[in-house]
A and B are shown apart, each in its own frame.
Chain A
Amino acid sequence: MTFLTPHQIDHRLNKVLLKVTKPGRYVGGEYNSVVKDWENAQLRTALVFPDIYDIGISNVGLKILYDIVNNREDALAERCYSVWRDMEDQMREHSIPQYSLESHHPAAQFDLIGFSLPYETLYTNAINFLDLAGLPVFSSGRTNEHPIVIVGGHSALNPEPMHAFIDAFVIGEGEEVICDILDVIKKHKNTDGHRDRNAILHDLARVQGVYVPSLFEIEYHSDNTIKSIRATQPGIPETIIKRMVAKLPPPPTKFIVPNIEAVHNRVSIEIMRGCTRGCRFCHAGIINRPVRERSVQEVVNAVSEAIDSTGFEEVALLSLSSSDYSNILELVKAVSEKFGEKHLGISLPSLRIDTVSVDLMDQLRDRRGTGFTLAPEAASERMRKTINKYITDDQLLETVREIYRRGWTTVKLYFMIGHPSETLEDVQAIADLCKRVLTEGRAIMGGRARVNAGVSTFVPKPHTPFQWVSCDSMEQIKEKQDLLKRVLKDRNIKLSWTAPEDTMIEAWLSRGDRNLSKVIYTAWKNGVKFDAWQEERKFSTWVAAFETEGVDPAFYTHRLRPVDEIFPWEHISTAVTKKFLFQDYSMSLKEQIRDDCRNQCYACGILPTFIEERRANPGTYWKCPHVKERSLPVAL
Chain B
Amino acid sequence: MRVRIQFEKKGALKYIGHLDLHKMWERSARRGNVTLSYSQGFHPQPKIQLASALPLGFSSRAEVVDMWTAMDYETDWIKSALQLALPTGIHVNSVDHIDDALPPLQTEVIAAEFEVDFTEFDFTQLADAGVEERVAKMLSTEEIIRERRGKTYNLRPLIELANYEATTKIMTLRLTAKEGATGRPEEVLAELGIPFEEVLIERSAIFFR
What does the 1/0 interface line of A309-326 toward B look like (CB < 8 Å)? 111110000000000000
Which A residues are in CB contact (< 8 Å) with B16? 24, 259-260
Which A residues are in CB contact (< 8 Å) with B56? 18, 23
B-contacting 9-mer, from A28-36, A201-209, A348-356, A539-547: A28-36
The yes or no answer to B193 lying at the interface (CB within 8 A) is no
Which A residues are in CB contact (< 8 Å) with B29? 311
**A308–B17 CA distance with the chains assembled, in angstroms:** 24
Which B residues are in CB contact (< 8 Å) with A18? 56-57, 196-197
**A153–B19 CA distance with the chains assembled, in angstroms:** 34
A-B CB proximity, top 3 nearest? A29-B12, A311-B27, A311-B30
Give residues 359-414 of A contacting B (CB, 8 Å). Answer: none
Give residues 91-141 of B contacting A (CB, 8 Å). Answer: 120
What does the 1/0 interface line of B1-45 toward A look like (CB < 8 Å)? 000000000011111110110011011111101000010000010
**Using a Cβ–Cβ cut-off of 8 Å, how many residues does chain B contribute to the interface with A?**
33
Give residues 7-46 of A contacting B (CB, 8 Å). Answer: 11, 14-19, 23-24, 26-31
Q: A29–B44 contact, CB under 8 A?
A: no
Min distance, Cβ A448 to any Cβ of chain B, angstroms = 16
The yes or no answer to B162 lying at the interface (CB within 8 A) is no
In the complex formed, the residue of A with least CB distance to B42 is A367
Q: A31–B31 contact, CB under 8 A?
A: yes
Report if A24-B27 is in contact (Cβ < 8 Å); known contacts: A17-B15, A18-B197: no
In the complex formed, the residue of A with least CB distance to B45 is A343
What does the 1/0 interface line of B48-60 toward A look like (CB < 8 Å)? 0000000011000
Q: B57–A31 contact, CB under 8 A?
A: no
Which A residues are in CB contact (< 8 Å) with B17? 24, 260
**A257–B38 CA distance with the chains assembled, in angstroms:** 22
The yes or no answer to B158 lying at the interface (CB within 8 A) is no
A-contacting 9-mer, from B61-69, B81-89, B145-153, B170-178: B81-89
**A24–B17 CA distance with the chains assembled, in angstroms:** 8
The yes or no answer to B198 lying at the interface (CB within 8 A) is yes
Which B residues are in CB contact (< 8 Å) with A343? 38, 44, 46
**A311–B46 CA distance with the chains assembled, in angstroms:** 13
**A17–B200 CA distance with the chains assembled, in angstroms:** 12
Name, among A28, A308, A311, the residue most crowded by chain B CB atoms within 10 Å (CB to CB). A311
Q: A27–B12 contact, CB under 8 A?
A: yes
Which B residues are in CB contact (< 8 Å) with A27? 12, 14-15
Which A residues are in CB contact (< 8 Å) with B19? 261
Give residues 250-304 of A contacting B (CB, 8 Å). Answer: 257, 259-261, 265
Which B residues are in CB contact (< 8 Å) with A260? 16-17, 20
**A176–B57 CA distance with the chains assembled, in angstroms:** 41
Q: Which of A16, A19, A26, A307 contacts B30 (CB 8 A)?
A: A307
- 17 intermolecular pairs with C-beta atoms under 8 Å apart: A16-B197, A23-B56, A24-B12, A24-B15, A24-B16, A28-B12, A29-B13, A31-B86, A31-B87, A259-B12, A259-B13, A260-B16, A261-B19, A310-B31, A311-B26, A311-B85, A313-B30
Min distance, Cβ B135 to any Cβ of chain A, angstroms = 22
Q: Interface on A for B, CB 8 Å cutoff?
A: 11, 14-19, 23-24, 26-31, 257, 259-261, 265, 307-313, 343
**A121–B63 CA distance with the chains assembled, in angstroms:** 43
Q: B198–A15 contact, CB under 8 A?
A: yes
Min distance, Cβ B1 to any Cβ of chain A, angstroms = 18
Q: A257–B57 contact, CB under 8 A?
A: no
Report if A29-B11 is in contact (Cβ < 8 Å); known contacts: A259-B16, A261-B20, A311-B85: yes
Q: B38–A19 contact, CB under 8 A?
A: no
**A313–B23 CA distance with the chains assembled, in angstroms:** 10
Q: A259–B197 contact, CB under 8 A?
A: no
**A174–B19 CA distance with the chains assembled, in angstroms:** 36
Which B residues are in CB contact (< 8 Å) with A14? 197, 200
**A307–B85 CA distance with the chains assembled, in angstroms:** 12
Which B residues are in CB contact (< 8 Å) with A257? 27, 87
**A19–B30 CA distance with the chains assembled, in angstroms:** 33
Min distance, Cβ B159 to any Cβ of chain A, angstroms = 22
Q: Which of A29, A265, A311 contacts B88 (CB 8 A)?
A: A29
Name, among A11, A16, A29, the residue most crowded by chain B CB atoms within 10 Å (CB to CB). A29
Q: A29–B89 contact, CB under 8 A?
A: yes
In the complex formed, the residue of A with least CB distance to B20 is A260
**A23–B31 CA distance with the chains assembled, in angstroms:** 25
Min distance, Cβ B124 to any Cβ of chain A, angstroms = 16
**A15–B121 CA distance with the chains assembled, in angstroms:** 11
Report if A23-B15 is in contact (Cβ < 8 Å); known contacts: A29-B87, A261-B20: yes
**A111–B14 CA distance with the chains assembled, in angstroms:** 31
Min distance, Cβ A145 to any Cβ of chain B, angstroms = 30
Q: A24–B20 contact, CB under 8 A?
A: yes
Min distance, Cβ A409 to any Cβ of chain B, angstroms = 14
Min distance, Cβ B194 to any Cβ of chain A, angstroms = 14
Min distance, Cβ B140 to any Cβ of chain A, angstroms = 30
Min distance, Cβ B64 to any Cβ of chain A, angstroms = 19
**A23–B24 CA distance with the chains assembled, in angstroms:** 16
Name, among B15, B20, B29, B200, the residue most crowded by chain A CB atoms within 10 Å (CB to CB). B15
Which B residues are in CB contact (< 8 Å) with A23? 15, 56-57
Q: B57–A17 contact, CB under 8 A?
A: yes
Q: Given A27-B14, A309-B31, output 4 extra A-B contacts at Cβ < 8 Å.
A: A29-B12, A29-B88, A31-B31, A259-B87
**A14–B24 CA distance with the chains assembled, in angstroms:** 23
Min distance, Cβ A461 to any Cβ of chain B, angstroms = 38
Min distance, Cβ A40 to any Cβ of chain B, angstroms = 20
Which A residues are in CB contact (< 8 Å) with B86? 31
**A311–B22 CA distance with the chains assembled, in angstroms:** 13
Q: A311–B31 contact, CB under 8 A?
A: yes
In the complex formed, the residue of A with least CB distance to B198 is A15
Which A residues are in CB contact (< 8 Å) with B24? 259
Min distance, Cβ B88 to any Cβ of chain A, angstroms = 6
Q: A311–B15 contact, CB under 8 A?
A: no
Min distance, Cβ A37 to any Cβ of chain B, angstroms = 16
Name, among B19, B20, B38, B86, the residue most crowded by chain A CB atoms within 10 Å (CB to CB). B20
In the complex formed, the residue of B with least CB distance to A31 is B87
**A235–B21 CA distance with the chains assembled, in angstroms:** 56
**A343–B13 CA distance with the chains assembled, in angstroms:** 26
Q: A259–B20 contact, CB under 8 A?
A: yes
Which A residues are in CB contact (< 8 Å) with B46? 343
Min distance, Cβ A118 to any Cβ of chain B, angstroms = 26
Q: B31–A313 contact, CB under 8 A?
A: no
Min distance, Cβ A263 to any Cβ of chain B, angstroms = 14
Which A residues are in CB contact (< 8 Å) with B88? 29
**A619–B16 CA distance with the chains assembled, in angstroms:** 49
Give residues 188-209 of B contacting A (CB, 8 Å). Answer: 196-198, 200
